[in-house]
Amino acid sequence: MRTIKDLGDLRGKKVLLRSDLNVPLDKDGAITDDGRVRASVPTIQRLTQAGARVIVCAHLGRPKGAPEARYSLAPAAQRLSELLGVPVPLAQDTVGPSAHATVDALGDGEVAMLENLRFNPGETAKDAAARAEFADQLASLADVFVSDGFGVVHREQASVYDVAERLPQAAGGLVEQEVAVLQRLTRPARPYAVVLGGAKVSDKLGVIENLLQHADMLLIGGGMVFTFLAAQGHEVGTSLLEKDQIDRVKGYLADAENRGVDIVLPVDVVAADAFSADAAHDLVAADAIPADRMGLDIGPESAQLFARRIAGAKTVFWNGPMGAFEMAPYAAGTQTVAQALVDATSAGAFTVVGGGDSAAAVRQGGFADDDFSHISTGGGASLEYLEGKTLPGLAVLED
């Protein structure tokens, strides 16, 4: 994989930098977790210190190929300017007159940002010709392309894949770091514990299948656990359940037993009568969830069970919260697992928090990024890499 050092002298060159600035916003448009913006800073600083004229491009949310004010990158540009300590002007379009004028105004070592790439339908078009047209327009703005948005490298999109075929290209420092971490997870120090949570089993089918060949133990929480409990024949009440995946999960349980991989499930859960912080809720056994209640967090006994297993591991990968952590009554399980990873890190284990909701959960819980060996910026990309899939945005950077 080509890196920035392979690009030679960048002084005076216009560098199109694909970053991942897809940050969560509150109802007032304020950033609630700036982790991805902060993660973009080292590569930007490396480029500006080399005298490059840096053109940051990224997406936010899921606009439908046209401008939507609520998805403007303005909050990200503002936060980036604060972190860099210099103004970061934001173009009012992606490849139009404002983008060209903003880029033309850049001096050596300066930074600007294009508006949300997904305001242009060519960015995510399934049609290769439509993507190519947008990629041509993006490429015309720059001399060099640097891919540093790890959270999108599993997408064959114009700013991720097609532009890299049109300009001299390289991986940025963040992408380099993320790949190095994931490679280490494919050759883990043992015991290797994987903690999986989040809403749906179907989101993680491929990675579960792959990890059964590599992990020593899988600790399952979050909404996906109820499909596992149902596969064991237990009542799960009104909990999130993917009935069409029960047979497949039964197969995973049998495969794990044959391979000697421990699948650790909760023994107690916090069950509520509605998906609400104000709902009546109490602690019940995981195999005795009332028919009119839904599980919204692993219980304290389960959290301690998970913590003990994590404490015995040399490598830990965690993707997906243990419950509806954004609501205080259902945050304790995720908090306990996060603390267990922190303790494991202190004891010398290699710990990786896998992006997205997991990263937001640990920061919301008051943990610092350096409490863990690594917090990934790309949950979906990390999972697909560990699944053994070819990621288009990485394949296109190969020598």
Strand order of the β-sheet with 268-272 is 281-285, 268-272, 294-298
204 annotated as belonging to a binding site for a ligand: yes
N-term to C-term CA, the chain:
5
61: annotated binding-site residue?
Answer: yes
Q: Tell me whether residue 380 is one of the annotated catalytic residues.
A: yes
Asked whether the CA dihedral 243, 245, 248, 250 is positive or negative, the reply is negative
36 given a catalytic annotation: yes
Catalytic-role residue among 36, 46, 53, 79 = 36
Choose the catalytic residue: 221, 223, 380, 393. 380
Distance of CA 39 to the CA centre of its chain: 12
- 356 is known to lie in a ligand binding site: yes
Catalytic residue status for 35: no
Alpha helices by DSSP H, listed for the chain, are 35-49, 74-84, 97-104, 128-139, 173-185, 205-211, 225-231, 246-259, 300-311, 332-346, 356-364, 379-386, 392-395
Is 21 labeled as ligand-binding? yes
Q: Is 13 a catalytic residue?
A: no
Q: Is 206 a known ligand-binding residue? A: no
Phi, psi angles (nearest 5°) of residue 356: 55, -130
CA distance 111 to 125: 28
HSE of 264, CA atoms in CB hemisphere, 13 A = 21
Q: What is the largest CA-CA distance in the chain?
A: 66
Counting other chains too, the contacts that 286-290 makes at CB distance below 8 Å and 24 or more residues apart are 286/225, 286/229, 286/234, 287/229, 287/232, 287/234, 287/235, 288/234, 288/235, 289/229, 289/234, 289/235, 289/236, 289/237, 289/239, 290/237
Which tokens hold the place of 373? 């060996």
**Is 190 one of the annotated binding-site residues?**
no
> What's the Cα-to-Cα distance from 130 to each of 59, 127, 157, rounded to whole Å?
18, 5, 11
Asked whether residue 323 is marked as a ligand-binding residue, the answer is: no
Q: What one-letter code names the amino acid at 279?
A: A
The candidate with the shortest Cα–Cα distance to 144, out of 3, 286, 239, is 3
Q: Is 14:53 a contact under the CB 8 Å cutoff?
A: yes
Containing 105, the helix (H) or strand (E) segment is none
Q: Is 308 marked within a binding site?
A: no
Q: Is 358 annotated as a binding residue?
A: yes
Residue 206 C-beta-side C-alpha neighbours within 13 Å:
11
> Is 278 labeled as ligand-binding?
no
Instruction: Say if strands 268-272 and 294-298 run parallel, antiparallel, or are unpaired.
Output: antiparallel
3-class secondary structure for 293-323?
CEEEEECHHHHHHHHHHHHCCCEEEEECCCC
**Chain centroid to CA 392:** 16
60 appears as a binding residue in the annotation: yes
Among the listed residues 197, 333, 354, 356, the single catalytic one is 356
Kindly name the residue from 38, 184, 200, 314 that is annotated as catalytic. 200
Q: What are the residue numbers of the active site? A: 36, 200, 356, 380
- Enumerate the known binding-site residues: 20-22, 36, 59-62, 118, 155, 204, 295, 326, 355-358
- Enumerate the known binding-site residues for (2R)-3-phosphoglycerate: 36, 118, 155
- Enumerate the known binding-site residues for substrate: 20-22, 36, 59-62, 118, 155
- Enumerate the known binding-site residues for ATP: 204, 295, 326, 355-358
